[in-house]
Structure 1
């Protein structure tokens, strides 16, 4: 309701539903209509954020050139097939991440740019994925899906809570969004309930508000309101009948039920299997339109994961990150391959003239450039077309730009998803090149 034209209107409201009222003689409820930002027949724009803690190999995170000619460092080698749909973004940083300690204060505000409370207290800022989920997540069964492959760490490290190192998604400044670590429970969250929010009657959702409103208008307006609500009901019933006859036109989810079996209970012992199951759930959530916003934390910053399946079982992730070895590169590529896996599956899903990848924004990032704790610039890659609004195959270098805030990137990505903000976090200017 930030738009001045929308703010002049009165709405009936219900869970996940906002319905404008017709013109009435006894109440000034009507204002100018706001034009739709996206035709109803077009697929939605999805946002996926993948996070890998402790940065990457210091000498192998790079990209040069454009399009098919783009060259990639070895960390990004799994993304070779998606160079034309990828932005390699260099030079962005979070100013607040340069304050405080290492690890925790470099991670807890990665998606918000907010200052962090120290002394073991918990206070960050609402992350941009949750801002988007709160804006349009009511149109899906699950407003946002926040997944993790490593349990949160509740300890304190150098005067900052390690919960900052364990959570990048924040529902509010004092509430990190709960992580779902179990693939089976993430699957259940998407599909266990048979009735989705989008399946409920709009009129049923706002009927209580309509009854309250009706008591405050004239008899003539009561009749007008009754006629209006009845017309809404009639249209809903016609749409329902047309859908049952297979006559509905426009975009709809690619599938309406899972096309893969429910994962086994518990947490997989193999981290690669755990990651891959979570990636499948990300794709499935987008493909069924059960959710449009997903965050997947592949590990914590200051991570304790081990990788025996790679022959790298002699050192935990965090310690391994302190040396640019061939084993560290293997681990990096395991993480990058999860992004490539999601991109490949989404790119195989056709949605009209575009693919599901073309209608998505997948951001891959970390809280530092390398295990040397350098947060003066952050590693960032975006894969996907953002609904046809992002031109891939480019390297964008902001290292010497006056506007190189991570929150500027988030403003740009929110705009591509239809949420227009004048400012977010510490930025008031989107990245014009994105």
Structure 2
């Protein structure tokens, strides 16, 4: 009896639910479901952009050396076990970020290098993640997943819209990509097809289809499928439990008929749990090939987040960024712990001869180097090897180089995804030394 063919575009299915399969060696594509060139590919390359606003501790964001002698500063200490897959990039900047005001003008064009409109008008540029999403989006259920852990700020600061400070992903020059703050809704976007499919659990809905698939795949892929389903079950359960505790809904009324307006849903009381849920959803999205492009904005620039989970509750994030204190370093490391968690989860998932992290590019960056609004050079680290073309254990220093444009790095990164552009943003040349030849 011949092995049945399963398509990663038809997924596991249940009523109102579809669940994309993780990459498995023994599951071929339907030949007529996707182009032959795609069907013959190995694991795809993914892009994740991770962001935190307001920069980092001025004395502790650094890396030195290369290879086995690579050393990391205090902020980057959570990445110590990932040095073999880390590239520290120094000295890049966006020229347009040095114009206009602080915060908004330093964030709204971070991924595009575009000039920004002032006076409350909204005009930036299409961000690099969305350029990749347009190229790859027809191959996945979700073209791109745009996640956040702090709501957008619609006000104006020093004549520039604070929406620039609240969004790093832009679908067009006038349209910030919709930001998903609710872990439950982000989870639903990966798996549910009908917005009102009821409360039936995702795994319950696809269980029969999963059992049929399990009988038709090899032993190693059965283990991979079981691990993946366990991951989905664990994230789904945590979302449910957090909702019961009230952590995913923020304020809840104490009266049967509240006598004040109810604040918007979806702002967690526990920022650590919120970030960890979003990190797990990003991993699931890549693991299932539901999307190949994701951005996760851990907070806004000019952020108002507080961190009682760290014992740091005396100042909001923005004010803390001006202190260079031990509390500021503690908060910095907390953000890097989220990056490390995502990278380690991806590195534990095997895809052929490489791991999912090896088949990805994770870029972590901020809108300024330090909390004193220094955008003359931007903090950038890359994790993963982009399918084998991005070596690790390196420090690339472009501070005194003739070409140190962020958009030059984006041009090089776009090549990894088959997007070969003559220009992007303010650059017409690739960043030398970033990639190894394919």
Shift of 1:432: 2.3
| Corresponding residue of 2:235 | 261
| Corresponding residue of 2:366 | 366
CA distance in 2, matches of 1:102, 1:253: 50
Superposed CA offset, 1:183-225 (max 9, x none): 010000000128xxxxxxxxxxxxxxxxxxxxxxxxxxxxxxx
- Range 287-296 or range 412-421, more displaced: 412-421
Cα distance change on mapping 1:374 and 1:186 into 2, 3 Å: same
SS at match of 1:363: strand
| Corresponding residue of 2:110 | 110
| Corresponding residue of 2:82 | 82
Shift of 1:244: 9.8
Q: How does 1:22-421 map to 2 (within 5 A)?
A: 40-193=40-193, 246=216, 255=225, 258-262=232-236, 263-264=239-240, 265=243, 266=248, 267-421=267-421
Superposed CA offset, 1:384-403 (max 9, x none): 01011111110000001111
Shift of 1:416: 1.1
**Contact conserved, 1:147 with 1:181, CA < 8 A, in 2?**
yes
Shift of 1:254: 5.6
CA distance in 1, matches of 2:157, 2:383: 34
SS at match of 1:93: coil
**Contact conserved, 1:254 with 1:287, CA < 8 A, in 2?**
no
TM-score (norm 2): 0.77
Superposed CA offset, 1:341-366 (max 9, x none): 00100000011110000000000000
CA distance in 2, matches of 1:60, 1:161: 31
SS at match of 2:295: strand
Cα distance change on mapping 1:252 and 1:43 into 2, 3 Å: farther
CA distance in 1, matches of 2:43, 2:410: 21
**Contact conserved, 1:359 with 1:385, CA < 8 A, in 2?**
yes
What is the number of residues matched between the two proteins? Answer: 351
The higher radius of gyration belongs to 1
**Contact conserved, 1:49 with 1:362, CA < 8 A, in 2?**
yes
Shift of 1:252: 12
**Contact conserved, 1:253 with 1:289, CA < 8 A, in 2?**
no
Cα distance change on mapping 1:430 and 1:39 into 2, 3 Å: farther
SS at match of 1:395: strand
**Contact conserved, 2:235 with 2:280, CA < 8 A, in 1?**
no
SS at match of 1:83: helix
Shift of 1:289: 0.6
**Contact conserved, 2:235 with 2:277, CA < 8 A, in 1?**
no
**Contact conserved, 1:150 with 1:181, CA < 8 A, in 2?**
yes
**Contact conserved, 1:89 with 1:380, CA < 8 A, in 2?**
yes
In the TM superposition, structure 1's runs of 4+ consecutive aligned residues that sit over 6 Å from their partners are none
Cα distance change on mapping 1:409 and 1:142 into 2, 3 Å: same
| Corresponding residue of 2:29 | none
CA RMSD of aligned residues (A): 2.2
SS at match of 2:124: coil
**Contact conserved, 1:55 with 1:370, CA < 8 A, in 2?**
yes
CA distance in 1, matches of 2:135, 2:224: 23
Superposed CA offset, 1:67-91 (max 9, x none): 2321000000000011110100000
CA distance in 1, matches of 2:418, 2:233: 29
Unmatched 5+ residue regions in structure 1? 1-33, 195-242
CA distance in 2, matches of 1:417, 1:39: 16
CA distance in 1, matches of 2:68, 2:181: 37
Unmatched 5+ residue regions in structure 2? 1-34, 195-212, 249-266
